[in-house]
Copies of this chain bind each other. A is one copy, B any other.
Amino acid sequence: MTDTTRVLWVNPIGKPAYDDPMGALMGGIKQRDTRVDVVSLNTRLLPDHLEYRTYEALIVADMVRLARMADGEGYDAMVIGCFYDPGLEDAREISGGTVVVAPCQASVQIAANLANRFSIIIGQEKWAVQMRERVTAYGYAHNLASMRAIGIGVPDLQKDCDFTTARILEAGRRAIEEDKAEALILGCTCSFGMNEVVQKELGVPVIDPILAAFKMAEFLGGLRRQFGWTPSRAWSCAPPPEAELAGFGIFSAAPPIGNRVSY
């Protein structure tokens, strides 16, 4: 076992355009001994965002396939790069020794160390119910001051970053003043690059979910290496038997990777 912690970041869509910028972002913040690979999917007919449950359903099977691959290739941790954390529990079942991490859970765990109550800034009101279910499932409902929507869909979040940032600032300010939020979480992996200015302007911690998820993966991947803290395989964490998997031939095809970059 080498000293390198290996993280697999999955862009759970079929468009590789974000792979390099995200990889570069992570390459700039990783520890010396970490290696991060960024992949996107090879499947045609995929949406280029996951704003709807309909779209997420289309990529959940790929999350399972990539978790299987991550274990086979010896990754210490894998990240499902969408704030809905799609397929997290499924991927965790089949990931073998690889720790699977997702942005929403990573963000709320970090935020709870910095503030008693936080708000999540979301793109559209549509997201609120599903994300609140996630936050509740992770145990942080009592820390959630509010969800505040900025009225911008995922595909448009990076179109005019100044506009998006202005809307985040406005929503964040209201979350702090009206909902008594003490910290903010940006509720989409497509708002990257905006947290610093918001944090500086509003004076509270602003958690970017890409940073949170990547660093959490690096952290937990490191713990795995140091202390053998790999995922449990007992009871509800047990994977299907290998013989059955072989019989069904489910993982006989190549992993659904369309693009892979390393940093």
Contact = CB atoms under 8 A, between A and B. Distances in A.
A126 B231 contact: no
Interface in A130-177: 130, 133, 136-143, 176
24 contacts: A32-B32, A51-B240, A52-B94, A53-B89, A54-B239, A54-B250, A55-B240, A57-B64, A58-B250, A60-B60, A89-B130, A99-B114, A112-B139, A114-B231, A114-B232, A115-B231, A116-B129, A129-B235, A139-B143, A182-B234, A182-B235, A205-B231, A208-B227, A215-B223
A137 B141 CA distance: 11
A113 B142 CA distance: 20
A219 to B, nearest CB: 5
Contact of A142 (B47, B61, B139, B180): B139
A94 B117 CA distance: 17
Contacts of A207: 229
A24 interface: no
How many monomers of this chain does the complex have? 6
Contacts of A136: 142
A50 B91 CA distance: 15
A220 interface: yes
Contacts of A231: 113-115, 205
A254 to B, nearest CB: 13
Contacts of A31: 31
B248 A47 contact: yes
Nearest to A136: B142
Contact of A139 (B87, B110, B138): B138
Given A99-B113, A110-B220, 19 more contacts: A31-B31, A45-B250, A47-B250, A52-B93, A53-B90, A53-B93, A61-B61, A110-B229, A114-B230, A115-B231, A116-B232, A116-B235, A180-B235, A196-B227, A199-B228, A207-B229, A211-B227, A215-B226, A219-B219
A236 to B, nearest CB: 4
A204 interface: yes
A17 interface: no
3 closest A-B pairs (Cβ-Cβ)? A139-B139, A129-B236, A115-B232
